[in-house]
Chains A and B, each alone.
Chain A
Amino acid sequence: MTELGLLARFVHLSASIVVVGSTALLLLAGRSDRRTALAWESRVVALTRALVWLAIAAGGVVLAHQAATLESRTAAALEPLALARVAFETRFGQIWLARHGLLLLLGAFVMLRFDLREGVDWRAARGQTLLLAALALGVLGTAGHSAAVEPSAATAIAADVAHLLAGGIWAGALPALALLLRAASREAGADARPYAVVATRRFSRAALLLVAILLVTGVVVTVAQVGSIAALLGTGYGRLLLLKLVLVLVALAAATLGRRRLLPRLGGDAATVGRPAMRRLAASVTVETCCVLAILLVVVALGVSPPARHEQPEWPLPFRLALGALADTPDARPFVLIGSQLAVLGVVVALCSMALRSARLPLLAGGGVLVLAGLVMAVPPLATDAYPTTYERPAVPYQASSIAAGAVRYARDCATCHGPSGAGDGPAARALAPPPPDLRAHHATLHTAGDLYWWITHGRRAMPAFGHLEPNERWSLVNYLRALAAADAARRVGPVVDSARTQVAAPDFTFAVGPTPPRALRDYRGARIVLVVLYTLPASRDRLAELAARYEMLAPLGAEIIAVPTDASPDAIKSLGPAPRIFFPVVTEGAPEIVRTYGLFMAGPHAEFLVDRQGYLRALEAAPRGTERLLANIQALNDEKVVAAPPAEHVH
């Protein structure tokens, strides 16, 4: 069933593309009154006519397949009601209707027999065919994955449409071009040889531009749908894309060879040079056509697989390259530096060789050797161990409930060796060789969350495997380790906001006040600065009164206060009593996790954390007095111009 859907989509796409491309080639080549050229033209027009109706028929199968898939029963493919539901009520269906409306119009148009003896009539008829076919093809770009790209779907759709049209004209013209070259390379087709030469030259010039558009828009679409090397290498979508790239390179190599070697010889002496060159060019274009068909098959497969961005990448290599790997080996840094410079130099030399006519080969070889030498020097020190899960996104977001759960699990299973604070000083650590590492140090920069997850799952050196824990529990441990590292980094965050200091992401948390629906810290992102206050009664009462008195001033400054009782009492508001009048949120649900998590950053009966609009922890203080510093901090955050991107929802 899936194969049928894929096949129908493939036929539909190929037919649509060939209609666009061969009509474009007719227009590019212009008219000719040579017998062979006329015969070729009428063959191409007949082909177009047949392909339009084939595309419409295959489109019908695609719609039926979509109906069966959406209703998850095969019978729906043949029910008019189900088909109508898909066509009118889904975005796919509405775009399908628009496309097939255009295709039917095109089908009717190409069925009409016109008198095309006038040049203007000929151009009008061919131009109209191209216009309708290109419109129908371009609309396809709004139905694909690009329409789902956030936040700039318009750019992605524009790139996708341009990619489709440029690809349609270039790839779709190839079969017609092969037909023309074959016809003109026969002895009987000698009358059309000058026409074929002109057509090929014009197409070749246009193809340069089209391939450039294809490459640029292809990169834009890839960035939007894949986004990272890990996703390119580690997901089915990414690997299909790589396969497509290889096929494109083969097609381009054949095209370049044809352009370089055969094109200049086409006009030569018919029997010895011109006709054999034309035959070989026809063969080369046929090879390109086969590549294009394979590419279209891959394109169809890409269209029905989930984009790499939404998949969990499974890293295929046992190593990866990371600058963080140099943190441990300062001796290797000069090698990496010199190696990278050598490689750049090599690329420059190779580029120069393209511009020069003399000494091209030696220069190219020299450049290649330089690049190779540079890579051999620079790459090995950057390599660091990697695992299939290295780039996996944590299944659990970096937030207080997960961190608190991880802390409980850590205390039970990990602290014996790694120590209660992650310093590697647990009671059992002395017996181990090598000793357990300090988890707080640069574990955060050198290793990804997926690395930690792999080690927890499979063990490492003296460490046993904890694969028997639920995946969520393992991710919670990873989140807890990240919080430990963040707490270590937060020691450099003082009571005063300083833009130059490292930014530590404030763990997200959810909370509720009384019967109100739960809210999250991240709800304030982009809107409010938040002061998270961990308080203990009665010692904190004076401070809360101070904040309450200033609360009316904080709202216009764009700040909110969230008070969290350290005793996590559900009666927190009642315990505060009627005086002072406190109107900011006092957490009655979710407090234990917040206290546990933020206690890692600063322990004690009272602590205040200032979180900026992007969600970074910018100031923290144990027992502040007065509100001048708080107001100054808020003012400093309001005055900040350079805004960091908000931290990701998950650790990396």
Chain B
Amino acid sequence: MAVWKVVVLLDLALALGVGGGYLWWGRQADRLGRELAEARAAAAGPREFHAEGVIRAVLPEIGVVVITHDEIAGYMPAMTMGFRATSPKIYDAVEVGDTVRFTLGGVPPNLALTSIEKLGRR
């Protein structure tokens, strides 16, 4: 066989090897993405989140408490946000400026405050 044919075959094999390897890795990424989506779907259902924050406002007329809170792991980063309370009793004992530990419950994204516990000064 002529040398130039050997060289062409060698280069083709090289290109196929690199291309095939790239495609294989691409498949892996797709598969991982699918697994992640499945894991996410499996996580749907009632959940509970805990975080700390400081009360900024209590709005009894609409049953909402505004809290500047810490990161809620697995749900949202730190921010100031209004949360619906499941019952007025939950916010009876707190007032603006209190540092609290609170619990959100429900099926995301329909979460509501299920309890607020006052913390001492840190």
Residues on A lying within 8 angstroms of B by beta carbon are 105, 109, 114-116, 118, 120-125, 127-128, 131, 513-517, 519, 570-578, 581-585, 588
With an 8 A cutoff between CB atoms, is B28 at the interface? no
The CA-CA distance from A121 to B98 in the complex, in Å, is 85
With an 8 A cutoff between CB atoms, is B90 at the interface? no
Are B7 and A128 within 8 A (Cβ)? yes
Are B97 and A116 within 8 A (Cβ)? no
Out of A124, A576, A582, name the residue touching B3 (CB < 8 Å). Answer: A124
Are B78 and A516 within 8 A (Cβ)? yes
With an 8 A cutoff between CB atoms, is B11 at the interface? yes
The CA-CA distance from A120 to B8 in the complex, in Å, is 12
CB contacts under 8 Å to A, within B14-55, are 14, 52-55
Are A578 and B4 within 8 A (Cβ)? no
Contact A578 to B95, CB < 8 A, known contacts A121-B2, A124-B7: yes
Q: Nearest residue in B to A129 (C-beta to C-beta)?
A: B7
Q: Nearest residue in A to B68 (C-beta to C-beta)?
A: A513
CB of A507, distance to nearest CB on chain B (Å): 23
Report A-chain residues with C-beta under 8 Å of the C-beta of B71.
517
Q: Nearest residue in A to B122 (C-beta to C-beta)?
A: A515
The CA-CA distance from A122 to B2 in the complex, in Å, is 10
Contact A121 to B66, CB < 8 A, known contacts A514-B53, A581-B57, A583-B80: no
Report A-chain residues with C-beta under 8 Å of the C-beta of B84.
none
Contact A585 to B97, CB < 8 A, known contacts A114-B3, A121-B4: no
Are A516 and B4 within 8 A (Cβ)? no
Out of B4, B14, B52, name the residue touching A515 (CB < 8 Å). Answer: B52
CB of B9, distance to nearest CB on chain A (Å): 11
Out of A114, A115, A516, A575, name the residue touching B70 (CB < 8 Å). Answer: A516
Residue of A115, A514, A575 with most partner-chain B CB within 10 A: A514
Report B-chain residues with C-beta under 8 Å of the C-beta of A581.
56-57, 59, 66
Q: Mark B65-92, 1 if CB is under 8 A from A, else 0.
A: 0101111000000101000000000000
Report A-chain residues with C-beta under 8 Å of the C-beta of B78.
516-517, 519
With an 8 A cutoff between CB atoms, is B96 at the interface? yes
Report A-chain residues with C-beta under 8 Å of the C-beta of B68.
513-514, 516, 585
Report B-chain residues with C-beta under 8 Å of the C-beta of A583.
56-57, 66, 80
Are A125 and B121 within 8 A (Cβ)? no
10 residue pairs, one from A and one from B, having the closest CB atoms: A514-B54, A574-B97, A124-B4, A121-B3, A573-B97, A124-B7, A515-B52, A581-B57, A128-B7, A114-B3
CB of A117, distance to nearest CB on chain B (Å): 10
Out of A120, A515, A578, name the residue touching B53 (CB < 8 Å). Answer: A515
Contact A128 to B10, CB < 8 A, known contacts A120-B2, A516-B78: yes
CB of B1, distance to nearest CB on chain A (Å): 10
CB of B62, distance to nearest CB on chain A (Å): 12
Out of B8, B10, B69, B97, name the residue touching A576 (CB < 8 Å). Answer: B97
The CA-CA distance from A127 to B121 in the complex, in Å, is 76
Report A-chain residues with C-beta under 8 Å of the C-beta of B57.
578, 581-583
Are B97 and A575 within 8 A (Cβ)? yes
CB of A290, distance to nearest CB on chain B (Å): 35
Are A515 and B97 within 8 A (Cβ)? no
The CA-CA distance from A201 to B61 in the complex, in Å, is 91
The CA-CA distance from A583 to B2 in the complex, in Å, is 80
CB of A412, distance to nearest CB on chain B (Å): 32
Report B-chain residues with C-beta under 8 Å of the C-beta of A577.
96-97
With an 8 A cutoff between CB atoms, is B58 at the interface? yes
CB of A108, distance to nearest CB on chain B (Å): 10
Q: Nearest residue in B to A584 (C-beta to C-beta)?
A: B80
CB of A259, distance to nearest CB on chain B (Å): 34
Are A573 and B54 within 8 A (Cβ)? yes
Q: Nearest residue in A to B121 (C-beta to C-beta)?
A: A570
CB of B19, distance to nearest CB on chain A (Å): 15
Given contacts A515-B99, A519-B78, A588-B54, 8 further A-B contacts (CB under 8 A): A125-B7, A514-B54, A515-B119, A516-B78, A570-B121, A574-B98, A581-B59, A583-B56
CB of A501, distance to nearest CB on chain B (Å): 33
Out of A105, A118, A127, name the residue touching B2 (CB < 8 Å). Answer: A118
Out of A120, A517, A582, name the residue touching B56 (CB < 8 Å). Answer: A582
Report A-chain residues with C-beta under 8 Å of the C-beta of B7.
124-125, 127-128
CB of A389, distance to nearest CB on chain B (Å): 39
Are A517 and B70 within 8 A (Cβ)? yes
CB of A573, distance to nearest CB on chain B (Å): 4
Report A-chain residues with C-beta under 8 Å of the C-beta of B58.
578
Report B-chain residues with C-beta under 8 Å of the C-beta of A125.
3, 7
The CA-CA distance from A577 to B10 in the complex, in Å, is 79
CB of A54, distance to nearest CB on chain B (Å): 23
Report B-chain residues with C-beta under 8 Å of the C-beta of A578.
57-58, 95-96
The CA-CA distance from A584 to B80 in the complex, in Å, is 8
Report B-chain residues with C-beta under 8 Å of the C-beta of A121.
2-4
Residue of A120, A121, A131, A516 with most partner-chain B CB within 10 A: A516
Are B3 and A514 within 8 A (Cβ)? no
Are B80 and A585 within 8 A (Cβ)? yes
Contact A115 to B3, CB < 8 A, known contacts A514-B54, A582-B56: yes
CB of B116, distance to nearest CB on chain A (Å): 13
Report B-chain residues with C-beta under 8 Å of the C-beta of A582.
56-57
Residue of B3, B71, B95, B99 with most partner-chain A CB within 10 A: B3
CB of B109, distance to nearest CB on chain A (Å): 20
The CA-CA distance from A466 to B56 in the complex, in Å, is 47
Contact A573 to B96, CB < 8 A, known contacts A116-B3, A516-B53: yes
The CA-CA distance from A125 to B1 in the complex, in Å, is 13
- Would you mind naming 19 contact pairs between A and B with Cβ atoms under 8 Å apart? A109-B10, A114-B3, A120-B4, A121-B2, A124-B4, A125-B7, A513-B68, A513-B80, A517-B71, A571-B97, A572-B97, A573-B55, A574-B95, A574-B96, A577-B96, A581-B59, A583-B56, A583-B57, A583-B66
The CA-CA distance from A125 to B119 in the complex, in Å, is 78
Residue of B7, B70, B80, B99 with most partner-chain A CB within 10 A: B7
Report B-chain residues with C-beta under 8 Å of the C-beta of A585.
68, 80
Report B-chain residues with C-beta under 8 Å of the C-beta of A571.
97
CB of B77, distance to nearest CB on chain A (Å): 9
Report A-chain residues with C-beta under 8 Å of the C-beta of B119.
515
Report A-chain residues with C-beta under 8 Å of the C-beta of B8.
124
Report B-chain residues with C-beta under 8 Å of the C-beta of A575.
97
The CA-CA distance from A114 to B4 in the complex, in Å, is 10
Q: Nearest residue in B to A127 (C-beta to C-beta)?
A: B7
